[in-house]
Amino acid sequence: MVDPAVLFLFIPTFIVVSVTPGMCMTLALTMGMTIGVRKTFYMMWGELFGVALVSVAAVCGVAAIMLKYPSLFLLLKYLGGGYLVYLGVQMIRSRGNIPRDSTGSHLRNISPKTLMVQGFVTAIANPKGWAFMISLLPPFITPSKPFLPQITILLLIILTTEFCCLVLYSNGGRTLSRFLEKKGNLLTLNRVSGLLMAGVGIWLAVG
- pLDDT computed for residue 131 by the predictor: 72
Residue 198, in any domain of the structure: no
- Residue 129 CB burial class (10 angstroms; 0-12, 13-18, ≥19): buried
- pLDDT computed for residue 199 by the predictor: 80
Domain count for the chain, please give it: 1
Residue 146, in any domain of the structure: yes
Q: pLDDT digit of tens for each residue in the chain (207 aa)?
A: 667 777 777 888 788 778 877 788 888 998 888 888 999 999 999 999 999 998 888 877 655 555 566 676 677 678 777 877 877 787 777 654 433 444 445 556 788 998 999 899 889 887 777 777 877 777 777 777 887 888 889 999 999 999 999 999 999 888 877 776 665 566 666 777 778 778 877 877 776
- Residue 125 CB burial class (10 angstroms; 0-12, 13-18, ≥19): buried
Within 13 Å of residue 74, how many CA atoms lie on the same side as its CB? 4
**Closest alpha carbon to 61 in 130, 124, 157:** 130
Please spell the DSSP secondary structure of 145-188, one letter per residue.
S-HHHHHHHHHHHHHHHHHHHHHHHHHHHHHHHHHHHHTT-HHH
Residue 142, in any domain of the structure: yes
Q: How far apart are CA 143 and CA 1, in angstroms?
A: 12
Residue 77, in any domain of the structure: no
146 Rama class: left (phi>0) / alpha (psi -120 to 50) / beta: beta
Residue 92, in any domain of the structure: no
- pLDDT computed for residue 60 by the predictor: 77
Q: How far apart are CA 76 and CA 119, in angstroms?
A: 12
Dihedral (C-alpha) 172, 177, 179, 184: value to the nearest 10 degrees? 170
What's the predicted TM-score (pTM) here?
Answer: 0.76
Question: First and final CA of the chain: distance in angstroms?
Answer: 36
Residue 28, in any domain of the structure: yes
- pLDDT computed for residue 65 by the predictor: 57
Residue 163, in any domain of the structure: yes
Residue 94, in any domain of the structure: no
Give the range of the structural domain holding residue 22, as residue numbers without chain letter.
4-72+99-183
